[in-house]
Structure 1
Amino acid sequence: MRLNTLLVMFVVCVTLIANVANSLDKSIVVYYSFNDGTATDGSGNGNDGNITRTKVVEGVAGNGKALDFDGKSWVELKANKTLDIAEITMAAWIYKDKIYTENLGENIISKKQGGAYTISVGGWENHGGCGEKLETEMRISGSYHYVCEKTALPLKKWVHVASTHDGKDMKIFLNGKEVGSKACPGEVDFNTANLYVGAESGGAVPDDDHGRYVGKIDEVYLANRAFSEKEIQELMASALSVEVTAKLPIIWAELKSN
């Protein structure tokens, strides 16, 4: 019985890792695992970020690392052509104790100055934001569009957030399930702003008036096409790959001993 259980675990682990690897296709232009405490890009595009004043903390998988943002910290990636995205997926794991609506929105991933895209929480509703809910904002063919989650964002737990635009519809996802959408045909507008994790662009530097994020962020993805709901669920599973990979040698050793 013990041997059968180990065999099942081994097959499941290998299958999960294979599926995760397949999901990391060439459309991903930025991937920050934060597992080494840096913003080294795992997409192969050389989009390494510069970190300012974040703390390294335990990540969503338990074995990996994440970054903790205090409202005065961020990750910055200089603007480049790989970030000019007509269709898009943004995704990350986040952990928040509180939502600060006075910040005019806490940006998780943002390239919003004068266009482009952001995914955030806590936007002022009288400024077009969504209150204490997950939201995404994009400038599509010259006009700004918002999509809001239907209910308040869960607090004091890790949640997976994502948003997409496929040339026809904007969609927002929470824990792998679509929770909001809006028809807005067109392409995401380009701009010259830097990309930020945990802040909003204010030109050459992060905006110091609003837009700063407070909480933990892990497993950041940016892709130049709209992922399906199933693919977003695979991104969620990829956060477990660190934990699964660490267990494989132990499982394999036990199999050989039997």
Structure 2
Amino acid sequence: MSAGLKRVLVTAGGSGIGRAMAEGFAEAGFQVWITDLNPETLANLPEGWRGTLANAADEASMQALFTEIAEQWGGLEVLCANAGIAGPTALVEDVALQDWRSCVSVNLEGAFLAAKYATPIMKAAKAGSIIVTSSTAGQYGYPNRAPYAAAKWAMVGLTKTLAMELGPFGIRANVICPGAVEGPRMEGVLAREAAAKGMTRDQVYDGYAVGTSMRSFVEAKDIANMAVFLGSDAARLVSGQVIAVDGHTENPDPKV
């Protein structure tokens, strides 16, 4: 199949990392389909893109989405299971159970449901690439972010298992672990952590940057570049891997 005929679905593709992924795949010649919870992000999409209002953590919504993809596209080469939320910023004893469940549901169950319904489509073609967006919080302990870290660690285990189950069918599965990514979502994290730790926003920001060997945040396009590589034939034997795009995180609990 030529690159121009390859198809990618990006969940939560309306903004941030997801939008950058969608743009990266479009530039690489893929047909692009995105989902989002915000209808405004689905308005006025680039020519040729498809968009669906869908809740990644709702099974009926995801089942309907993949049924539509199978009927309208007839296949799917790449899935970017990218939907996620930051969850609460608090010590574990102060985390409400509902907040825990909400964070785990969107992050972990969202990735599970996307993989669950993409898999039969990819198995039929005996090929495919599943790319799960975890976090460097899925590699380290992360104070004040227990629900998020727990979900992101679990996404790594899910993806490694997918790689083992699906490899015989020619389907690869890999995890991208972004570090601190510039953008509105990270600004919210910085504000909450500053409040929780009695620090200023700039102190927390500088702590994140100092905690990397390259002394830098990353940009959404850096994550997108890795996703496009993992979705390409150049990565045909890359599977079951956890790849951080973070400037090398040395200190996951920034302090200044």
Between Structure 1 and Structure 2, the one with more strand by share is 1
Q: Which TM-score applies when normalising by structure 2?
A: 0.29
Q: Which has the higher contact order (CA 8 A, sep 6+)?
A: 1
Between Structure 1 and Structure 2, the one with more helix by share is 2
Query: Which structure: larger Rg?
Result: 1
